[in-house]
Structure 1
């Protein structure tokens, strides 16, 4: 302990002398020379271009380590075809931290129809080709070639959601934990500030990476289970690869234990070794979260990208505020609960106002704060206070199938923050783009007052909401409320807009071909769109990505919650039909919509009458 305190004081003194508050992080030997550094403590390898903004995980981890006095460098988007770029900053004293970036590299590269994308929002000029497929695995293996024994710690969304054996949509197979394929020493899952600081302190104290296997929020590979106790065993990799039912059951256990208070250690055998996941780490408290967002981010992409047109990803977030983390909504197609967790933590009003003033002072700020939110903008507090001592209820959801009787709903603080933000000198408008849970808003006894304030001050003509579907059975698989809840919100929204004399519109989002959605469900959705006179220009096909319950349904054909069979539209034609039905109004879809209606036994919807979706064939 004495040695660790001495090291901490030494780092703090060095940090005070360097005073890098007006600098980007180190990305070159030249930067190291300017700071008088001969060797870095940690080097972060990232699949994204370097953007020094708190909406990007690489920037947060780099700043958190820097704040603790460690010397940190970033190698952004190295050429993975050789080891040359991985050596450009030399060998770090303690280890490499590897991330694919803010987005899963396979989702970044491929559309849901598996066509390779030509645009990359996280690369210079929006050009694709700056990162490999499965970037975490490729980067880690290149590092093993360059530095055989250096500690490698992987993290970020790609690693986090592949920590167990997982279904890979692009391979159409079950792959083993990413820890095995990457040959990394340790995996940090979830939001990693606490874990990475503990790992850094242990390495600095001289502890070998193989012994840093006890930290919450991490996973590692064990040769045997002799040193473990009080753990739960998942179906082995071989079992989940050979049995779809076992895959669904494994996911069920993984999902149920993702709780920082009551969660157990989980073990999954892979051949003659074992993947071990320690329980989730407790989320940062408000003071800790405020501190993370107070660090000296430059709030822009690094100047080296200027000649390439910058990095497009900054545009959406440059003038936005992250106000919270976590989500207890638990939509089955979303990975937030498996990554950030269900427990809500939120920044203080003072912290948000302070960051807003930094935004206002920027030369290119035009008066518009684009967002104040998180995974769900109007979630700012735990769903109930009892979860803080006993954890989230095992096997139950706060909002589904109906809001829990113990749900504590309060929008007062959130709207107080919005009021103070929009009243700051220099602010013209504060928008909410990250989305709200309309069912949660309706639970508030003052919902009409808040909805009116939302419409009057925080909507710019259109408010995006996500009912996702209309069929009760499909919504049940999605973990979403019945469509009557959305209808209630929709009616209230238009009423308050009429009262305040504004003409604004709701833009509802829907997903086609979600597990559980049959052809007749898609027809029901098309009829609903007809009745509300909404013609969506864009429709999201269900995208099976690692870490979500819906993906487990898609692959296995079972609902992990009940272990009952679930229908899945798998063929290209079945998916095309469901998608076309949502856009029945487009002439190019008429032929396939007619075919779908005939197959569904709904010829009554073909014709020229009021209820018809498409005209007959001439």
Structure 2
């Protein structure tokens, strides 16, 4: 998080800078921290700026300009949901901030941070990610203003948007840029979206060759939805179809441009999940903080066993973000983490000889660990469960 910590690691310059609306807690439940650990594991020097001030660029510049790109996330929650209740009442606290104080991140944090990063690092590729960007990747109804908003990339000063689970996409971004490619070379990475111009046929003009023969899911255009509001339902259905079938790309015409969505990233296999969650997370807040972070205390002894949701509940957007394929860790990986938690508790004296009480073992929904789809198996297609 600072130059002194870079020097302690022998780093002169960062490869990747991640900017997040959450405080820095070194725990796998915090998305930017998980991705930072993943990038470092693959050889990319990564720094984190947590909850920067948004009226100046100073906080983004403390570690210098990164060599490859900056990644931007509003944090574990949509920033407006972090600030307001369903009755649009201002919240008084934020569990992801030291002392639980509200107001440490701006409204529409992805837009604000992207604009701030563009000021701090002119010409640097910028990549949006996280739940706020992912669920606002196409035209969407905005509850807070009771209006239809354009895809978030139309308003953010970013080159690419990573939607869904980001390990594969962010690593591919780093690898492509590390080879000397420019931001244009990021188009086509599975699990991402970008803007293009429309050709004479009304299609994306510079479609990557990898998508030329792939199935297409055409989305209703933004103006079409404004003219016929019921088209928003068709957009939602088509987007879910594109996510769940796994092999199709999609595009939406918006104000004379094309929002292009690559097919979703392949879910992580069990071996990859085990590798990811075996990284050396400290499960503690950064030592620079002087006040407790409520989410850190709540999540300290939780264990993630799987991702994804096989359900299709109408009130939930989880499957649209994480997919319906279940990616599970092995039983031994989960047990190893539980043993590590017990050893850490005994070493710290937090639980003494009694070990540790694990608060939760699970995923984003009900217990779907190692679940799989028998219909897909019968059809001979990959299910993304225990074998990935």
Mark yes or no: TM-score above 0.5: yes
What is the match of residue 74 of structure 2?
A: 100
Q: Which residue of 1 aligns with 2:218?
A: 233
User: Higher mean Cα deviation, 366-375 or 168-177?
Assistant: 366-375
Q: Secondary structure at the match of 2:244?
A: coil
Q: Distance in 2 between matches of 1:67 and 1:139?
A: 26
Aligned to 1:269: 253
Alignment correspondent of 2:286: 302
Corresponding residue number in structure 2 for 1:76: 50
Q: Does 1:142 align with 2:116?
A: yes
1:345-371 deviation line (CA, Å, top 9, x unaligned): 111011001100111112224631111
* 1:373 lines up with 2:352 in the alignment: no
**Structure 2: distance between partners of 1:183 and 1:323:** 36
Deviations 1:522-556 (A, max 9, x none): xxxxxxxxxxxxxxxxxxxxxxxxxxxxxxxxxxx
For 1:387 and 1:119, how far apart are their aligned partners in 2? 44
Q: Which entry has the higher C-alpha Rg, 1 or 2? A: 1
Aligned pair count reads 365
Partner of 1:129: 103
Q: Provide the residue aligned with 2:318 in structure 1.
A: 336
Number of the residue aligned with 1:292:
276
Q: Helix, strand or coil for the counterpart of 1:354?
A: helix
Kindly indicate whether the alpha-carbon contact (under 8 Å) linking 1:259 and 1:391 is maintained by their aligned counterparts in 2: no
The whole-number CA distance in structure 1 between the counterparts of 2:43 and 2:26 is 18
The RMSD of aligned alpha carbons is 1.7
CA distance in 2, matches of 1:317, 1:206: 39
Offset from partner CA, 1:261-281 (integer Å, 9 cap, x none): 3x4111001112110011111
Q: Which residue of 2 aligns with 1:249?
A: 234
Contact 2:176 2:185 in 1 (8 A): no
Residue correspondence of structure 1 range 208-607 to structure 2 within 5 A:
208-224=182-198, 225-228=204-207, 229=212, 230-259=215-244, 261=246, 263-305=247-289, 307=290, 309-361=291-343, 362=345, 363=348, 364-365=350-351, 367-387=356-376, 389-390=380-381
Structure 2: distance between partners of 1:196 and 1:56: 15
Give the gaps of 5 or more residues in structure 1.
Answer: 1-26, 393-407, 409-618
The CA distance in 2 between the partners of 1:385 and 1:351, in whole Å, is 25
1:46 is matched with which residue?
20
Q: Identify which of structures 1 and 2 has the higher relative contact order when contacts are C-alpha pairs closer than 8 Å and 6+ apart.
A: 2
2:155 maps to 181
Distance in structure 2 (CA, Å) of the matches to 1:241 and 1:138: 26
Shift of 1:386: 4.3
Q: Output the CA distance in 2 between the equivalents of 1:302 and 1:112.
A: 31
TM-superposed CA distance for 1:385, in Å, is 3.9
Checking the alignment, whether the CA contact within 8 Å between 2:54 and 2:112 is kept in structure 1 is: yes
- CA distance in 1: counterparts of 2:328 and 2:357, whole angstroms: 22
- Counterparts of 1:113 and 1:235, CA distance in 2: 30
- Other-structure match for 1:475: none
CA deviation map 1:417-442 (0-9, x unaligned): xxxxxxxxxxxxxxxxxxxxxxxxxx
The answer to whether the Cα contact below 8 Å between 2:217 and 2:242 also exists between their aligned partners in 1 is: no
Please state whether the residue corresponding to 1:139 is helix, strand or coil: helix
Do 1:260 and 1:282's aligned partners in 2 also have CA atoms closer than 8 Å? no
The two structures have a TM-score, normalised by structure 1, of: 0.57
Displacement after TM superposition at 1:156 (Å): 0.6
Whose helix fraction is larger, Structure 1's or Structure 2's? 1
Q: CA separation in 2, counterparts of 1:64 and 1:158?
A: 21
Report if the CA contact (8 A) 1:259-1:279 is conserved. no
Matched residues in 2 for 1:62 and 1:320: separation?
Answer: 20
